[in-house]
Amino acid sequence: MIRVSVNGYGTIGKRVAWAVSRMPDMELVGVSKTRPDWEAALAVKNGFRLFVPDGYAERFEEAGIKPSGSIEEMIAESDIVVDATPSGVGARYKPVYEAAGKRAVFQGGEKPDVAEASFFPLVNYSKALGKRYLRVLSCNTTGLARVIYALSRVGELRRVYGVIVRRGADPKEVSRGPIEGLLLESLPPPSHHSRDLAEIFPNIEVLTYAVVAPTTLSHLHIIFAEFREPVSASKLVESLHEAPRVLVLDDSIRSTAELRELARYAGRPLGDIYEVAVWEDSVAVKGATVSLAYAVHQEAVVIPENVDAVRASMSTASEAADSILLTDRILGVKSWL
Ligand code: NAD
Helices and strands (H and E) in the chain: how many: 12, 16
Binding site membership of 162 for ligand 1 (Cβ less than 6 Å): no
Region 303-325 average pLDDT: 98
Model confidence at 14: pLDDT above 90: yes
Binding site membership of 264 for ligand 1 (Cβ less than 6 Å): no
Are the C-beta atoms of 299 and 11 separated by less than 8 Å? yes
**What pairs with residue 294 in β-bridges?**
221, 278
Binding site membership of 36 for ligand 1 (Cβ less than 6 Å): no
Are the C-beta atoms of 81 and 75 separated by less than 8 Å? yes
* pLDDT at residue number 325: 98
Counting atoms of ligand 1 from 1, which one is nearest the CA of 142? 43
Tens digits of residue pLDDT in 31-44: 999 999 999 999 99
- How many angstroms separate the CA atoms of 168 and 248, rounded? 25
Catalytic-labelled residue, pool 12, 139, 206, 263: 139
Binding site membership of 89 for ligand 1 (Cβ less than 6 Å): yes
Closest-CA residue, ligand 1 atom 15, reads 85
Q: Does the pTM exceed 0.95? A: yes
Model confidence at 292: pLDDT above 90: yes
Region 213-234 average pLDDT: 98
CA of 189 to the centre of ligand 1 (A): 26
CA of 3 to the centre of ligand 1 (A): 21
Model confidence at 119: pLDDT above 90: yes
CA of 218 to the centre of ligand 1 (A): 17
Binding site membership of 35 for ligand 1 (Cβ less than 6 Å): yes
Binding site membership of 83 for ligand 1 (Cβ less than 6 Å): no
Are the C-beta atoms of 106 and 133 separated by less than 8 Å? yes
Based on its alpha-carbon atoms, the radius of gyration of the chain, rounded to whole angstroms, reads: 20
Read off the pLDDT band of 135 (50, 70, 90).
very high
* pLDDT at residue number 312: 98
At 57, give phi and psi (nearest 5°).
-55, -40
Counting atoms of ligand 1 from 1, which one is nearest the CA of 37? 11
- How many angstroms separate the CA atoms of 284 and 316, rounded? 41
Strands 219-227 and 246-249, by their bridges, are unpaired
Are the C-beta atoms of 115 and 128 separated by less than 8 Å? no
Of the candidates 2, 1, 5, which has an alpha carbon nearest to the alpha carbon of residue 76?
Answer: 5
Binding site membership of 107 for ligand 1 (Cβ less than 6 Å): yes
Are the C-beta atoms of 216 and 298 separated by less than 8 Å? no
What is the pLDDT of the chain when averaged over all its residues? 97
Model confidence at 20: pLDDT above 90: yes
Binding site membership of 12 for ligand 1 (Cβ less than 6 Å): yes
Number of neighbouring beta carbons within 10 Å of residue 313: 25
CA of 8 to the centre of ligand 1 (A): 6
Q: What are the strands of the beta sheet with 103-106, ordered from one edge?
A: 69-70, 50-52, 26-32, 2-7, 80-83, 103-106, 133-136, 117-119
CA of 227 to the centre of ligand 1 (A): 37
Do you know the residue count of the chain? 337
Counting atoms of ligand 1 from 1, which one is nearest the CA of 14? 26
* pLDDT at residue number 212: 97
* pLDDT at residue number 126: 97
120-124: list long-range contacts, CB under 8 Å, 24+ apart: 120/145, 120/149, 120/200, 120/305, 121/305, 121/308, 121/309, 121/312, 121/320, 121/323, 121/324, 122/146, 122/149, 122/244, 122/320, 122/324, 123/149, 123/200, 123/201, 124/200
- Please indicate whether residue 53 is annotated as part of the active site: no
Strands 2-7 and 26-32, by their bridges, are parallel
Region 114-127 average pLDDT: 98
Number of neighbouring beta carbons within 10 Å of residue 113: 10
Counting atoms of ligand 1 from 1, which one is nearest the CA of 88? 32
Residues 6 or more apart whose Cβ sits within 8 Å of residue 206 = 144, 148, 159, 160, 161, 162, 190, 193, 194, 197, 198
Model confidence at 186: pLDDT above 90: no
Model confidence at 337: pLDDT above 90: no
CA of 177 to the centre of ligand 1 (A): 17
Alpha helix ranges (H) inside 112-242 = 121-128, 139-152, 192-200, 233-242
Region 284-296 average pLDDT: 98
Binding site membership of 286 for ligand 1 (Cβ less than 6 Å): no
Are the C-beta atoms of 313 and 131 separated by less than 8 Å? yes
